[in-house]
Amino acid sequence: MDTDALLSYNWSVMAPEFTILGVATLLSIIDLFMSKHTSRRPLLWLALAGVAVAMAFVFMQLDQDVTSILHDTYRLDFFSKAFKIVLLLGGFLVLLLAADYRKEELSESRGEFYYLFLTALLGAMIMASSADMITLFVGLELLSLSSYILAGIRKKSRKSNESAFKYLVSGGIATAITLFGLSYIFGLTGKTNLFDVVETLQEPALLEHSFLLVFAFFMTFIGLSFKIAAAPFHMWAPDVYEGAPIPVTAFLSVVSKTAGFVILLRFIVLTFIAAAGIDRDPLLVQVQPYLMVLAAATMIIGNLGALRQRNVKRLFAYSSVAQAGYVLVPFVSNSTQVFELIWFYLLAYVVMNIGAFACLQTLTRDARSNDISIFRGLFSRSPWLASAMTIFLLSLAGIPATAGFAGKFGIFMGALGPEPGHYVLAGTMMLMTLVSYVYYFNIIGLMFFRDGSSKRRLPLPPSLGAVLVFCAIATIGLGILPNIALDFFFESFDVNEFFMNTGHNH
């Protein structure tokens, strides 16, 4: 590719990615020349500034038309802009969590944490704007490799090392399965660009090999299910959540999971929407029963697994598995509002889950324990912290007037209609939501109705206080007025834009 061709591209569409890449590179260079005993706090503020600037660029691009560059491998459309905002918001809040994490545990690697975090976030953003299997995979691996290192960043902790090793091994297997499925799609079509793949899959000659296409779909979906911790590919989650530092656990539960659903939407829905399966029936209709079983199993295993947990981080790991099951429901129902439903629920999940992890970080730092008993008597020690945690738990449980309820209600109604209604799946979702009340309300009961061993007041650092206030307000605001966020981002959204091949590279 010559220089004139490179200069002809509208590189401004990649301003958010360039910002994150530039800041990550700058942080790595600064950290390299800083002495071992120098505080890494300035790196945090640079990282926060970089994420804030990247988010500002995304907001400035909201009115921009669909644009693709680099032969349609990078695509800026409303889908990518909406999900980048969720990713960047989650990244900003997690960085604030990391600001006051136990410094002695990350003292040797505190600088590395910030730029590895930014490279992981960059990988997620690349996935949101990818329109080619190669760039999708590059973004996925950039996110995954950074996540493996972050999970084991407490080098002197055996539990952290063990969790990182398990994450690496299971993640490598999932990557191999994903590549296996992608290789079949490339072998059938001879294309890597998603829009070219869509066109090729509609050719009559490929109908003779429809069984291979179904096989490729399942291989790819199974590999990507690992990233969202869907059952039965969730077994890494409890160990990794327990062994990783809380900011990393929060990152994996919200940002990494959001990125997993982004690649499922971008790749699975776009590529297979018009593909024919066995007997020439639409492929996505044929695989619906299997996806329904996967979604139901994820909800059941996640909620039942959480019931027997004493370790709070493992409890939230199984809760995260259950939440993935809820978000899988729109994939099964093929709702016309699948993008809005998933986007809103992931936005709600970001604020309520990071808020819960902020409370958890304060408690675990004080008690030096992850046992559920650390919540005993919290209301008498810190009424504001207990009240905030209650808001987040009620939202995760799906109680009305919270963001979690608004998200679950939309998904539930989407599963019921218009036709054909998936009543069994909707019933499973309702039943498992009721089951989740047991472990969420158990924590609330410990905070308000049990006496703790310590009566000492809990100090709340400013950064954690800011996270708690923002997340609590956002959780209630999205629950009472969900249409404000949806109308702001999706009022002018045309679903056909997602499937539209721009046919140009400038």
pLDDT at 473 over 90: yes
pLDDT at 503 over 60: no
Q: Which residues face 132 on adjacent strands?
A: 193
Q: How does the average pLDDT of the chain come out, rounded?
A: 86
Kindly state the percentage of the chain with pLDDT values over 90.
50
**Encoding tokens for residue 380?**
């008498």
The pTM score is: 0.93
Select from 95, 174, 87, 179 the least CA-distant residue to 129. Answer: 87
- Strand 74-76 and strand 67-69: the pairing is antiparallel
pLDDT at 137: 92
How many Å apart are CA 505 and CA 297, to the nearest integer? 42
- Reported as a single tens digit per residue, the pLDDT across 122-169 is 999 999 999 899 999 999 999 999 999 999 888 878 888 888 999 999
pLDDT range class, residue 386, cuts 50, 70, 90: very high
pLDDT at 210 over 90: no
Greater model confidence, 211 or 118: 118
Select from 504, 397, 497 the least CA-distant residue to 444. Answer: 397
Over residues 470-490, the mean pLDDT reads 88
pLDDT at 279 over 60: no
pLDDT at 269 over 90: no
pLDDT at 504: 46
pLDDT at 197: 87
pLDDT at 170: 92
Contact 401, 476 (CB under 8 A): yes
Over residues 416-443, the mean pLDDT reads 88
- Reported as a single tens digit per residue, the pLDDT across 281-300 is 677 777 888 889 999 999 99
Contacts of 124 (CB under 8 A, 6+ apart): 87, 139, 143, 255, 256, 258, 259, 262
Greater model confidence, 348 or 268: 348
pLDDT range class, residue 492, cuts 50, 70, 90: low
Select from 238, 263, 83, 236 the least CA-distant residue to 148. Answer: 236
pLDDT at 104 over 50: no
pLDDT at 420: 66
**Encoding tokens for residue 451?**
């006496």
Contact 107, 133 (CB under 8 A): no
How many Å apart are CA 167 and CA 161, to the nearest integer? 10
pLDDT at 506 over 60: no
pLDDT at 427: 93
Kindly state the percentage of the chain with pLDDT values over 70.
90
pLDDT at 494 over 80: no
- Reported as a single tens digit per residue, the pLDDT across 175-209 is 999 999 999 999 988 888 888 888 888 777 777 77
Contact 306, 439 (CB under 8 A): yes
Contact 322, 257 (CB under 8 A): no
